[in-house]
């Protein structure tokens, strides 16, 4: 456990030693504000709610999260520093968990910096604080799922651009499966029962449920399963690379 904590601290420091981290946070904050107030017409909704703010998160994460995670392993492989990591007295799973946690914490910091939205909505009205908390929790878990998928694609290639594109495609498919139009298309191609199973793997379906203030254990387990499965696959891929 101490080794993981040490590695997480080292990885987290590396984020903030780079100007890229600050650029990401600025872009993240500007994009969330822009989509909320301009695309979402926040003030015209006449609602003391952050529903519009969270509505765009699955789509913003499609670009922003892969941008954070695309170099986690691809850069290590490209520069050859991954060979040094293989020699450290830690298991591959510990290394994978450490890199993932550092990235997830960094994203969590960026998400926490949107707190002025909470202050704004409380100034304008009396929102349900439980719904706000649940929405932030759901957004954080969903971000972790995006990042876990990006960790897998990053471990598959030395090229960060390829990793980025692969993760965007995979995450886009997992967002789209929860949309009614896409479900209607699937119903024409597959039996209804199969379409319903496919829809259960939708990020948007589970996130929308949590963002309504319903913290259902099934939604929590879904995101944690995606994260856990992604990290296991990530470790297996790296073990294969190490053996070869």
Q: Is the pLDDT of residue 88 over 80?
A: no
Q: Is the pLDDT of residue 57 over 70?
A: yes
Burial class, 191, CB count within 10 angstroms (exposed 0-12 / middle 13-18 / buried 19+)? exposed
The Cα diameter of the chain in Å comes to 60
How confident is the model at residue 189, as a pLDDT? 73
- 178, 202 Cβ separation under 8 angstroms: yes
Best mean pLDDT range from 29-43, 72-86, 123-137: 123-137
Q: What is the pLDDT of residues 194-238, one digit of tens each?
A: 777 777 888 888 898 898 888 888 999 999 999 999 999 999 988
How confident is the model at residue 243, as a pLDDT? 63
Listed in sequence order, the residues at least 6 apart from 216 whose beta carbon sits closer than 8 Å to its beta carbon are 209, 210
Threshold 0.75, pTM exceeds: yes
Token pair belonging to 193: 């029962």
φ and ψ at residue 210, rounded to 5 degrees? -70, -40
Q: What is the pLDDT of residues 17-51, one digit of tens each?
A: 888 888 889 999 999 988 888 887 776 767 777 88
Structural domain boundaries, residue 99: 2-243
Q: What is the pLDDT of residues 6-15, one digit of tens each?
A: 888 888 888 8
Specify the number of domains making up the chain: 1
Q: Is the pLDDT of residue 98 over 70?
A: yes
């Amino acid at each position: 456990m101490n080794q993981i904590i040490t590695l997480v601290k080292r990885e987290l420091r590396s984020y903030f030693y780079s100007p890229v981290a600050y650029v990401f946070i600025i872009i993240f904050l500007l994009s969330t504000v822009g989509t909320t107030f301009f695309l979402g017409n926040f003030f015209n909704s006449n609602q003391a709610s952050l529903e519009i703010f969270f509505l765009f998160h699955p789509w913003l994460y499609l670009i922003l999260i892969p941008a954070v995670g695309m170099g986690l392993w691809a850069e290590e492989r490209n520069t050859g520093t991954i060979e040094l990591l293989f020699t450290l007295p830690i298991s591959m799973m510990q290394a994978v968990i450490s890199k993932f946690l550092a990235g997830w914490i960094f994203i969590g910091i960026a998400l926490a910096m949107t707190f002025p939205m909470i202050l704004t909505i409380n100034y304008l009205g009396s929102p349900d604080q439980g719904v706000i908390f649940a929405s932030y929790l759901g957004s954080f878990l969903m971000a972790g799922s995006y990042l876990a998928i990006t960790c897998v694609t990053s471990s598959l290639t030395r090229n960060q651009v390829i990793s980025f594109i692969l993760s965007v495609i995979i995450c886009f498919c997992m967002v789209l499966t929860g949309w009614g139009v896409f479900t209607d298309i699937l119903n024409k191609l597959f039996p209804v029962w199969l379409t319903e199973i496919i829809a259960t793997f939708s990020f948007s379906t589970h996130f929308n449920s949590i963002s309504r203030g319903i913290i259902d254990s099934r939604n929590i387990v879904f995101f944690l399963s995606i994260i856990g499965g992604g990290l296991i696959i990530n470790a297996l891929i790296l073990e294969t690379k190490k053996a070869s």
